[in-house]
Amino acid sequence: MTDDLLRYRGEFPILERTTYLISNSLGAMPRAVYDVLRAYADTWATRGVRAWEERWWTLALEVGNRIAALMNAPENATAIHQNVTTCQATVASCFDFSGKRNKVVYSDLNFPSVMYFWEGQRSRGARVHMVKTDDGVHVPTERLLAAIDEETLLVPISHVIFRSAFINDAKAIIERAHHVGACVVLDTFQSLGTVPVDVAELDPDFVCGGVLKWLCGGAGTAYLYVRPELGRKLRPAFTGWMAHEEPFAFEVGPTRYADLPFRFMNGTPNVPGMEAALPGLKIIAEVGVDRIREKSKRQTARLIELASQHGWRVNTPRSAEQRGGTVSIDMPMAREVCAELLKRDILVDYRPSAGVRFSPHFYNTDQELEVAMAAVEDILNSRTVAAK
Ligand SMILES: Cc1ncc(COP(=O)(O)O)c(C=O)c1O
């Protein structure tokens, strides 16, 4: 079978040297990042402070719109931040937790940084209700839906779970939240770029994520989409001069909020981070998430098949419709196996309660999956692990 997506392999230097199965953590760097970062340095060196006006101040608009296009979101409603935790903080700062509607509902399979942030909001009056998983793989959807009630203000949930790659039923959660007057903050860090996200269809209130995993965009750029009708009514308390209607008027006193997306930003943006994000965003748009998803379903199925043949525990849903781009395999001595795989240039990671996470992306060959799993078998058969 010919795999058309493999023609992109040459764009990613690290694929020449490693078996790169870690795109759930850090996507491979596109070769063009060398050029855009050099161009950034040239601009800084030659245009100096004029670069703000000529490009940098509004770069977030371009980056936000490229990300919006990938998730079928309207233009000019996606702000740029440096990480997802900051996006959550911006959202939280729009709401008052002193009233009766102060409940925040999420699952214990959310990403820990996001949980730590919401736990921290208890001091502002937030009543955090955490729905527990039974098996560490699935979010109990019915229980989550039942917890979203008339006192619920916000539901910050991951679209795809980082530990198990379980795909949350975002549509059902958003419908339930809207039915009772709550807002959903959908974290698409582990979905966008590998699992289709359709904002027009799902109608979330907020969508956030970063570009460094499946979007191959590097660290320091995260996005925050805000539903325009809602966003125009909100006044983030976590704000700054980028959110001001006339930042260069340097007015004293309270802010006059700009329109979206700048309304949801705050201080000086991370310009090199945004420049570095562009090549990956362009490649993902060109490849197309639907084609990436088709390949991902096939390759993750193969990984599950290989793991099952060896009798290793798979902490990822078997059903392709419920599974994102990662397969978590908890083989014996998984932590040590992971360390040995890294030494052999097979790049994966280990997470407690998950096992070793294998995340093929559009640039991986089928052969690489076989190589990785054969290496696991070899490590377990050899004394390399046992001797440690
Ligand atoms: C689902 C999810 N949310 C958030 C994060 C990270 O959050 P932040 O950008 O604040 O570091 C990750 C992983 O790094 C993640 O997998």
Q: Going residue by residue through the chain (388 aa), what tens digit of pLDDT does each one get? A: 689 999 999 999 999 999 999 999 999 999 999 999 999 999 999 999 999 999 999 999 999 999 999 999 999 999 999 999 999 999 999 999 999 999 999 999 999 999 999 999 999 999 999 999 999 999 999 999 999 999 999 999 999 999 999 999 999 999 999 999 999 999 999 999 999 999 999 999 999 999 999 999 999 999 999 999 999 999 999 999 999 999 999 999 999 999 999 999 999 999 999 999 999 999 999 999 999 999 999 999 999 999 999 999 999 999 999 999 999 999 999 999 999 999 999 999 999 989 999 999 999 999 999 999 999 999 999 965 555 4
Question: Which has the closest alpha carbon to 105: 138, 132, 134, 137?
Answer: 132
| Sequence-separated contacts (24+) of 2-9 with Cβ below 8 Å | 3/295, 3/365, 3/366, 4/291, 5/287, 5/291, 5/292, 5/295, 5/362, 5/363, 6/363, 6/365, 8/283, 8/287, 8/362, 8/363, 9/363, 9/365
106 in ligand 1 pocket by Cβ < 6 Å? no
CA–centroid distance, 354 to ligand 1, in Å, is: 16
**What is the C-alpha to C-alpha distance for residues 113 and 25, in angstroms, rounded to an integer?**
14
**C-alpha span between 247 and 53 (Å, rounded):** 12
Work out which ligand 1 atom sits closest to the CA atom of 160. 1
Q: Give CA–CA dist 386/371, Å, rounded.
A: 21
Q: Which of 87, 106, 187, 189 to mutate to test the pocket of ligand 1 (most atoms within 8 A of CB)?
A: 189
Of the candidates 384, 329, 337, 388, the one whose C-alpha atom is nearest the C-alpha of residue 353 is 329
- Cα–Cα dist 32/44, whole Å: 18
SS3 88: helix
Residue 189 C-alpha to ligand 1 middle, in angstroms? 6
State how far the alpha carbon of 183 is from the alpha carbons of 65, 74, 91, 174, in Å. Answer: 23, 18, 10, 8
If you measure from the C-alpha of residue 209 to the centroid of ligand 1, how many angstroms do you get, rounded to a whole number? Answer: 7
Look at ligand 1, atom 6, and give the residue with the nearest C-alpha: 84
111 lines ligand 1 (CB under 6 A): yes
Q: Which atom of ligand 1 is nearest to the CA of 210?
A: 9
Strands 346-347 and 19-20: parallel
Tell me, using a 6 A CB cutoff, whether residue 358 lines ligand 1.
no
Pairing state of beta strands 222-226 and 78-81? antiparallel
Report all structural domains of the chain as residue ranges with CATH numbers, in order of start.
Answer: 4-30+288-381 (3.90.1150.10), 32-285 (3.40.640.10)
Q: Nearest C-alpha to atom 5 of ligand 1 is from which residue? A: 111
**Substitution site in 87, 113, 164 for ligand 1 pocket (most atoms within 8 Å of beta carbon):** 113
Alpha carbon distance 129, 1 (integer Å): 48
Q: Tell me, what's the pLDDT at 386?
A: 54
The pLDDT score that the predictor gives to residue 2 is: 85
Classified as helix, coil or strand, 364 is coil
Q: Element (H or E) spanning 117, and its range?
A: helix 112-120
330 lines ligand 1 (CB under 6 A): no
What pLDDT was estimated at residue 384? 53
Which residue's C-alpha comes closest to atom 14 of ligand 1?
Answer: 25
Rounded to the nearest whole angstrom, what is the distance from the C-alpha of residue 212 to the centroid of ligand 1? 10
Q: Ligand 1: does its nearest atom lie under 6 Å from the Cβ of 210?
A: yes
CA of 111 to the centre of ligand 1 (A): 6
